Structure 1
Amino acid sequence: MKKITVMEIQNAVKGVLLCGNADTMIEGIAIDSREVSSNDIFFAIVGEEQDGHIYAGSAAEKGCPAIVLHNKQIADEVKKIRPDTAILLVEDTTRALQDLAEWYLSLFPIKKIGVTGSTGKTTTKEMLYAVISQKYKTLRNLGNYNNHIGLPLTIFHLEEDIEVGIFEMGMSEFGEIHRLADIVRPDLAVITNVGTSHIEYLKTRENILKAKMEITDFFQDKNKLFVNEDNDMLTKKMVSKCMQEKKKDDASYCEDFQIVTAGEDEHADFQLSHRRDLGESGIQFTITHEKTSQEFSLPLLGNHNGWNAMLAVAVGASLDISLKEAAAGLANMEGTNRRLNIEVKNGIKLIDDTYNASPDSMKAAIDVLMSISGARKVAILADILEMGEVAEEYHYQIGEYVSHKEVDVVITIGKNAKFISEGAEAASKKTIVIHHEEKETLMDNLEDFLKPGDVVLVKGSNGMRMAEIVNKIRSL
C-alpha cells in the first residue's frame, strides 16, 4: 500500500480526529486486531457475528498508531489506554472503509475492470488475470474478497506499478453492486451470466439482471460492457431493455456505452466454437474475432469454462492483447480452490466443488463428473440455499438431470436436497439414490461405501459445509 497520512484518511472518510497526530504515516489497513502492525490503521467494523469495537483496545495495545471508530464511548476508553493513538470518529466504520478505498483508488491512473454474474465470477476473474497479466502489471481480488468489505481491502493492495485492476463484485440484493461500482467506477465490465442465485430475495431473473446491471450505473459513453450472449437474459435485446428501464428510473443513466457480445452465435463479436471436453486434461475451444481464429487449451475441468474464457479474451482484446497472447496466458491457468478441483485419494478420484452452488453450476458439475473416467460415478449433493419458493422445483430438476446423465449413485444431504433424490428416482430406476438429512450420518458410512475406482463429486452451497465431506474422503 502507498503511504498516506491520518489527515488524508480523515478527509477521505469525513471523520473527526479526537486525539493523536494527523501527520502519522499509515502503510496498511486492518480489520482484525490480531493482524495489526505498527504502521496500520484499524477499522472497527461491525459484522454479522462480531463488533470490531470490542477489539479496538487490543489493537491499540499492540501498537496500532491509528484507529477508526463510530462509538464515542469506546473511543474514550481507547484514548485512556494509549493517548498518543490517532483516533478518528466517523458515522459508520464500514462506510468509512469504503470511502477511503474510493479515494485511494482515485490516486492511481489504472484501467479498472468490474466482474459480476450469477456463476463463474471468480473463475472469470482469474482468467482475466491470466490474460491481462501477459502484458500489464495487474491486481485482482484475492479469494472471495468481492463484497462491501472485501473489495475495499483489495483496493488497498494497489501499488504505484499497477496498470490494471480487476474487481469481482458479488451481491444478493438490489443496491449492493451499485455501491461497489460507485467505489470502483469501472472502465470495462463483465457479466458472466444471469441464473437463479439469490432468487429468494430478488424473486425473478429479470430482477437479477437489473441488479447485475448496476455495474454500469456509473458508465459513460466511452465504457464497455461484455456479456455472454448465449445466456438468455444477456442477449442484446434483453440488456438493451434493461438499460431503457434503468433510464426511466434515473435520467442521468448513460445508455450510449458499447455492448460487446461473446458466444456461440455466429453474429457474436467474439465467437466461441469447437468446444471439446477432454475430461481430466481440461478443455479445448476456438475463438474467432474479426476473421482471426485461435485455438485454446485450458487446463480446467468443465466445458462450461469456454464461456468464461471467451469473456476474458474479449476484454483482453480491448486492451490490445492478441488472441495468441490470451491463449498463452490461459494455457498456464491454475484451478481455484474448491471449484471443480480434482485429486486422487486411495484410488478414488475426488472432485471438490464445495465453494458454492446454484442450479446451473450443479448441472455443470454433473457434466464434469460424467467426463472423468472411472468405475462408478458418485454425486454427493447438498442443498442449494437462497432459492426461496422455487427451491423444490429447481432441486427436483437437478435430480432429473442426474438420472438423465446416468450417474451411478446420487447421495443427497439436507432439507431441499431430498427433492433431488425424488427427481432422480422419478426419472430413472438405474441411478442408486440415497438421502441423508444430516451429513454426519453419511460421513460415518463413507469408508464402507466408497471404493477404489470411484469418481466422486461433492457439491452444495457454502452454508452446507460440504468441505467436511471432502476432508473425510481425503482421510479414508
Structure 2
Amino acid sequence: MKKLTMKQIEEGTGGRQIQGTSQAVVGEICTDSRRAKAGDLFFALIGDRHDAHKYLGQVIQAGCTDLLICDQAALEETEGGDQVNAILVEDTTKALQNLASYYLNLLNLKKIAVTGSTGKTSTRDMIWYVCQEKYKAQKNVGNLNNHLGVPLTILSFEEDTQVGILEMGMDKLGEIDLLAQIARPDIGIITNIGLAHIENLGSQEGIFQAKMELTNYFGEENTLIVHQDDEFLNKERIQGSYRLVTTGFDGKSDYIISRIDDFGAEGIQFTLEHQGRTQRFSLPVPGRHNAFNGALAVAAGAELGITMEEAARGLAKVQLTDKRLTVRGKNGIKVIDDTYNASPDSMKGAVDVLMHTRGLRSVAILGDMYELGETSREQHSLVGNYAAEKGVQLLVTVGKDARYIAEGAKKAGMKQVRYFPDKKAFLKEIDSIVDKGDVILVKGSRGMEMEEIVKNIME
C-alpha cells in the first residue's frame, strides 16, 4: 500500500479526525484486531456478530495508534484511547469502501474486474499470469471478492502496480453495482451465467441482470469481454455504449477457440484465432472448460497490448488458487480436489476432468450444491445423470440433497452408487470404499467443507 497520512484518510473516508495529529502516516490497513501492529490503520468494523470497537484496547496495546471508528464512546472508555490518532465516521464499512475508491484515484493503473457464475477465480488467476508477462499486476488474495474483500484488495495494491485484477462475487442484486462503483474498472469480464445463487435471484435472467451491473459505470472507453457461447452472453442480448469483445467456438467471435486437447490432470492445450492470427496455448491445469477461461484472459491481455505469444508464455505458468481442481497423490491414490465450491456446471466440468485423468477406477465423491432454490432436486439429479453418462465407475454422494444425485445416476443405469446423509456417516466407511489405483474427484458447495474428505484420504 502507498503510505497515506491521517489527513488523506480523513479526506478519503469523509470522516472527521477527533484527536491526534493529521500528519501521522499509515502503511497498511488492518481489520483484524489480532494482527494489528504499529504503522497500521485499524478499521473498527461492525458485523453481524462482532463489533471491533470491543477490541480497541488490544489494538492499542499491540502498538497500533491510528484508528478509524464510528463509536466515540468506546474509544473514550478504552485505556490509552486518549493517546491515539482517531478518525470518526458514521459507518466504518462504508468508510473502508470510500477509502478504496479514493486510493485508486491516487494510482496510475488499469483495472480489470471479473465476475460470473463459475470460473471467476480461475479466470482472475489466468489474467494475472498473462499480465505479469509485461506489467506489475496485483489481484485478490484467496477469495476476498465481496463488499469488504474488494476494498481491502484495492488498499493492498502497491504504489507501482500497473494492473489491478479484481474478482467480484455476489449473491444478490446490487452487490456487483457497489463493487463496480468502488473500482470503476476499465475492462470487465463475465465468465458465464449459470445457476449459482438462483435461490436469491429467482431465474437465470435475474442472474444475468445482476452480473451486468458490472457495466453500470461503463462508457465508450470501457470494454466488456464475454464468452458468447453462453445463452445470455452474446451480441444480441448485450447492448451498451462500451466496446464488446467475444470469445467462442462459433467462428464468429473475436477470439475463436478450437482444437482443445484434454490431458486430464496434466492440463489442456487449445488454439485461439484472432484477426487472422493463430496461437497454440498450453495450460497446466485440468478441465476443457479452462480453455474458455484462458481465452478470456488472453482477450483481456490484448486490451493492454499483450501479444498472444506473450499471453501463451503467461498461461503456461498458471497455478490456480487452492482447492480448485488441484490434483494430489499419495499411496497409489490420485485425488482431484475441487472442494472450494460447486454449481451444476462446475460439477459437470469436474466430472469431465475426472474422466480424462488416468487411473484404475474413476470415483466421484459429490456433495450438496447450495442456493439452487426450487431447481435443486432437478439439478442434483441431472448431475447424477451426467456422471452415469460419462462412465464414472463409482459414485458416492454425501448430504441432504445429494441423494438426488444418486437417484439421477441410478435412473441413468449406473450400478455402483453409494449415498450417505452426511460426511460423518461416509467417513466411517471410507477405508472400505477407497482403494489404491483410484482417481477420486471430491467436490461440493463451500458449506459442505468437503476438504475434510480430501484430508482424510490423503492422511
Give 1:238 shift.
Answer: 1.9
The separation in 1 between residues aligned to 2:156 and 2:419, in whole angstroms, is: 45
Match of residue 394 from structure 1: 379
Q: Does 1:362 align with 2:347?
A: yes
Please give the per-residue CA displacement for 1:258-309, whole angstroms capped at 9, x wherever unaligned: 1001111101000000111111221011000000000111100001100000
**Which of residues 435, 449, 457 in structure 2 aligns to 1:465?**
449
Match of residue 306 from structure 1: 291
Give 1:139 shift.
Answer: 1.1
Where 1:377 maps in the other structure, the secondary structure is strand
The separation in 2 between residues aligned to 1:118 and 1:7, in whole angstroms, is: 40
Residues 4 and 26, structure 1, Cα contact 8 Å, conserved in 2: yes
Please give the per-residue CA displacement for 1:163-218, whole angstroms capped at 9, x wherever unaligned: 11111111110111111111110011100101011000001111111111111111
Please give the per-residue CA displacement for 1:101-145, whole angstroms capped at 9, x wherever unaligned: 110111012111111010001100111011111001111111111
Q: Does 1:207 align with 2:206?
A: yes
Residues 75-114 of structure 1 mapped to structure 2, 5 A cutoff: 75-78=75-78, 80-114=79-113
Residues 298-337 of structure 1 mapped to structure 2, 5 A cutoff: 298-337=283-322
Where 1:411 maps in the other structure, the secondary structure is strand
Match of residue 17 from structure 2: 17
**Which of residues 264, 283, 289 in structure 1 aligns to 2:274?**
289
Give 1:18 shift.
Answer: 2.3
Q: Does 1:443 align with 2:427?
A: yes
Give 1:66 shift.
Answer: 1.2
The separation in 2 between residues aligned to 1:107 and 1:17, in whole angstroms, is: 21
The separation in 1 between residues aligned to 2:360 and 2:89, in whole angstroms, is: 61
Where 1:297 maps in the other structure, the secondary structure is strand
Where 2:241 maps in the other structure, the secondary structure is coil
Match of residue 244 from structure 1: none
Residues 41-120 of structure 1 mapped to structure 2, 5 A cutoff: 41-78=41-78, 80-120=79-119
Question: What root-mean-square deviation, in Å, do the aligned CA atoms of Structure 1 and Structure 2 show?
Answer: 1.1
Give 1:49 shift.
Answer: 3.4
Residues 122 and 168, structure 1, Cα contact 8 Å, conserved in 2: yes
Q: Which amino acid aligns with 1:266?
A: G
Alignment coverage as a number of residue pairs: 459
The separation in 2 between residues aligned to 1:200 and 1:289, in whole angstroms, is: 38
Gapped regions of structure 1 (runs ≥ 5): 241-254
Q: Which amino acid aligns with 2:61?
A: E
Structure 1, 329-338 or 40-49: larger mean CA deviation: 40-49
Match of residue 28 from structure 2: 28
Match of residue 275 from structure 1: 260
Structure 1, 4-13 or 360-369: larger mean CA deviation: 4-13
Give 1:16 shift.
Answer: 2.4
The separation in 1 between residues aligned to 2:92 and 2:219, in whole angstroms, is: 30
Match of residue 165 from structure 1: 164
Match of residue 5 from structure 1: 5
Q: Which amino acid aligns with 2:385?
A: E
The 1:165–1:447 alpha-carbon spacing in structure 2 relative to 1, beyond 3 Å, is same
Give 1:469 shift.
Answer: 0.6
Give 1:412 shift.
Answer: 0.9
Q: TM-score, normalization: structure 1?
A: 0.95
Gapped regions of structure 2 (runs ≥ 5): none
Residues 381 and 413, structure 1, Cα contact 8 Å, conserved in 2: yes
Residues 44 and 69, structure 1, Cα contact 8 Å, conserved in 2: yes
Q: TM-score, normalization: structure 2?
A: 0.98
Please give the per-residue CA displacement for 1:399-455, whole angstroms capped at 9, x wherever unaligned: 11111111111111111111101111111143x111111101111211222110011
Q: Does 1:403 align with 2:388?
A: yes
Structure 1, 10-19 or 459-468: larger mean CA deviation: 10-19
Residues 194 and 345, structure 2, Cα contact 8 Å, conserved in 1: yes
Give 1:391 shift.
Answer: 0.7
Residues 21 and 84, structure 1, Cα contact 8 Å, conserved in 2: no
**Fraction of identical pairs, as percent:** 46
Please give the per-residue CA displacement for 1:49-85, whole angstroms capped at 9, x wherever unaligned: 332222122111211111112223212223x433121
Match of residue 433 from structure 1: 417
Match of residue 193 from structure 1: 192
Residues 61 and 82, structure 1, Cα contact 8 Å, conserved in 2: no
Match of residue 179 from structure 2: 180
Residues 76 and 82, structure 2, Cα contact 8 Å, conserved in 1: no
The separation in 1 between residues aligned to 2:52 and 2:431, in whole angstroms, is: 43
Q: Which amino acid aligns with 1:436?
A: F
